Amino acid sequence: MDVKIEESWKKVLNGEFDQPYFESLVKFVKDEYTQHTIYPPGKKMFNAFDSCPFDKVKVVILGQDPYHGPGQAHGLCFSVQDGIAFPPSLQNIFKELNNDLNIPAPKSGNLERWAHQGVFLLNATLTVRARQAGSHQNKGWETFTDAVVRKLAEEKENLVFLLWGAYAQRKGEFIDTNKHLVLKAPHPSPFSADRGFFGCRHFSKTNAYLEQHRKTPIEW
């Protein structure tokens, strides 16, 4: 199957695109786009991959679902398009960034600037119906994104995986911690950020590890 995705990822994931589960998933997603309002817009579905080629990945942040409100989702976890108000989790990410590295909250919640430096912002589920959180779960996306995480963990070395919340931690539980840095914290949502996301200092720890392995740190 010819999937419109960045070339290096296409090569790495080629075996997934012909799997029966992926064919079923494509049919489901196409039907959903014709019958409902789906986020992100179709051309942004693989934005995480298009913005951060496989060979450029240094850091992986795992999210769950795309945002399901108008104009928010654009294919990168936790990120919103320019001009959109910051959702609560993103506000808390910027708060921790300020606490950790004294970086003031940016004017835009668009995290493409991170992606272009090698931060791979992957949601477990890449699409969602408008105003229906979780509506595209258990349709095949999770199988696909599990394969993506596995490829990164097995084929690359010295990556940093930021696993925020129980869902992301389960998804990354097979990652070899001798080969990569795995940092875990509660989810940045207002319901859990006070339980250890604030004060986790993941941004400075990430950069220290990258520098230790002779990689350029991220300008958060």
- pLDDT recorded at residue 10: 97
Backbone angles phi, psi at 123, to 5 degrees: -85, 150
- pLDDT recorded at residue 39: 98
Confidence of residue 1 (pLDDT cuts 50, 70, 90): confident
H and E: helices and strands count for the chain: 8, 6
Given the residues 18, 31, 55, 65, select the one marked as catalytic. Answer: 65
Give percent above pLDDT 70 in the chain: 100
- pLDDT recorded at residue 2: 85
- The CATH number assigned to the domain with range 7-213 reads 3.40.470.10
Q: What is the mean pLDDT of residues 96-116?
A: 97
Confidence of residue 89 (pLDDT cuts 50, 70, 90): very high
The helix (H) or strand (E) run that includes residue 150 is: helix 141-155
Q: Is pTM beyond 0.95 here?
A: yes
Confidence of residue 116 (pLDDT cuts 50, 70, 90): very high
User: Over the chain, what is the mean pLDDT?
Assistant: 97
- pLDDT recorded at residue 125: 98
- List the chain domain ranges: 7-213
Cα first-last separation, the chain: 36
DSSP letter, residue 122: E
Q: What is the mean pLDDT of residues 2-28?
A: 96
Q: Is the pLDDT of residue 123 over 90?
A: yes
Q: What is the mean pLDDT of residues 75-94?
A: 97
For the stretch 57-73, pLDDT in tens is 999 999 999 999 999 99
Asked about 65 being catalytic, the answer comes back as yes
Q: What is the mean pLDDT of residues 150-167?
A: 98
- Burial of 148 (C-beta count, 10 Å sphere; 0-12/13-18/19+): buried
